[in-house]
Amino acid sequence: MHIGDPKNTEDNIYVLGIESTSHTFGIGIVEYNSRKKSLKIIANEYDRYVPAKGGIHPREAALHHTRVAPQVLKKALEKAGTKITDINAIAVSLGPGLGPCLRVGASLARFLASYYKIRLVPVNHAVAHIEIGKYLFNFKDPLIIYVSGGNTLIAIQKKKKYRVLGETLDIPLGNLFDTFTREIGLSPPYVVNGKHQIDICAEWGKEFIPLPYTIKGSDLSFSGLLTAALIQAKKHINNKVELGNICLSLRETAFNMLVEVAERSLVLTRKKEVLLVGGVASNKYLREKLVIMTKMHEAKYAGTPPEYAGDNGAMIALTGFLGYVHGVYIEPEKAFIRQRWRLDEVELPWLPNQ
């Protein structure tokens, strides 16, 4: 990776971002107006792979991505009213994620960059989730809560990196809900009309039953909770109310764990802003809990809206823009995917050195 001076330009800057880490193939375009010094998302197109049965099959998902990629790209360019030759930089999410899926995005990015001779900017998927949240709410230094199907972590920015204060030791929160609803036969589909199956199931229940609550410092563990909930659920698989109680208690326990860890970190760091990002950010129950918690500590709260909470190309383009103006780029032949690429490994020149 190179870090150097970006080209000084008076023209508008266009960055195209490609996202394909998991179930979503997305392309987003951002426009930077050099005169007004303003950044705008001008396209955000995506197509989601929905498994017919089971969870995400990496190969099936990758096949889906290759099928939809040309269409999504075309649609994004049309929506933005730009030609591919107008683009100043291609940003691509190189990881972390599922290998076969990542390869689709990376191949397209390498092709576009080398064929049209455009700069290629590597983007860490987790960083992108955070950057779009900061951009949308104009947050400067928030406590970050990143919850999705592949990540559950609490982070802050310090000395040019995002530092992880606490994270899951085994499975992520989104994965917990997905696996649970799948194992009891409610999913797929995992999300119906913007509502996760766990929330639909929780509506059937009334009572709270104790389930394992595992916190180690600021780290979380959900696997024991999943096993315990599944054992309970299999006993009452035909009783709608009992099943509802388990869903309710599972969600309650998991969210309480997360909010408690977030609260600890908030007290520790004394941040004035709390930002919720990632796919699970669209869950209204988690949002409610966080609103109450942040109010108790007089911190501002914001969560990314559903449009930008799930994986999308716009966040990659946005982060790619930050990379581009700070001279972060990579040769196409060296743009390898990284299935494992921790958030706290990435040095980000646009973060303050404090």
Partner 1 sequence: MVTESINILDKGAESIIIQGELLGKKVIVKYRIKKPYRHPKFDEMFRKTRTKTEAKVLSELCMNNVNVPTPLIVDLKNSVIVMEYINGEKLSDLIDHIDMENLKTIAYKLGYQIGIMHSLNIYHGDLTLANVLINNGKVYIIDFGLAGYSRDVEEYAMDIHLMKKSLLALAPDKMDVFMEKFIKGYSESYQGNVHVVLQRVEEIRLRGRYVEERLKKKILREKYAE
By CB under 8 A, name the binding residues for partner 1: 95-96, 150-151, 156, 158-159, 161, 163-169, 172, 208, 210, 213, 215-219, 252-253, 256, 259-260, 263-264, 266-268, 288-290, 292-293, 297, 334, 336, 338-342, 344-345
- For partner 1, the closer CB: 68 or 257: 257
CB 94 within 8 A of CB 106: yes
CB of 181 to partner 1, least distance (A): 20
CB of 46 to partner 1, least distance (A): 23
- For partner 1, the closer CB: 60 or 344: 344
CB within 8 A of 239, min separation 6: which ones?
Answer: none
Q: Measured between alpha carbons, how far is residue 72 from residues 10, 126, 132, 308 in Å?
A: 30, 22, 20, 17
| Amino acid present at 340 | R
CA dihedral 166, 172, 173, 179 (to 10 degrees): -160
CB of 41 to partner 1, least distance (A): 27
- For partner 1, the closer CB: 76 or 144: 144
- For partner 1, the closer CB: 151 or 312: 151
CA 239 to chain centre: 35
Instruction: Report residue 340: phi and psi, to 5°.
Output: -120, 115
C-alpha to C-alpha distance for 349 and 354, rounded to whole angstroms: 12
C-alpha to C-alpha distance for 7 and 55, rounded to whole angstroms: 44
Q: Give which of 67, 69, 60 is closest to 100, Cα–Cα.
A: 60
CB of 250 to partner 1, least distance (A): 12
| Amino acid present at 174 | G
CB of 94 to partner 1, least distance (A): 12
CB of 196 to partner 1, least distance (A): 19
DSSP β-bridge partners for residue 154: 145, 166
Written as one string, the DSSP assignment of 313-333 is: HHHHHHHHHHHHHTTEEB-GG
DSSP β-bridge partners for residue 275: 144, 302
CB of 208 to partner 1, least distance (A): 5
| Amino acid present at 65 | H
- For partner 1, the closer CB: 78 or 207: 207
Q: Measured between alpha carbons, how far is residue 338 from residues 175, 312, 331 in Å?
A: 21, 18, 15
- For partner 1, the closer CB: 47 or 260: 260
C-alpha to C-alpha distance for 271 and 274, rounded to whole angstroms: 7
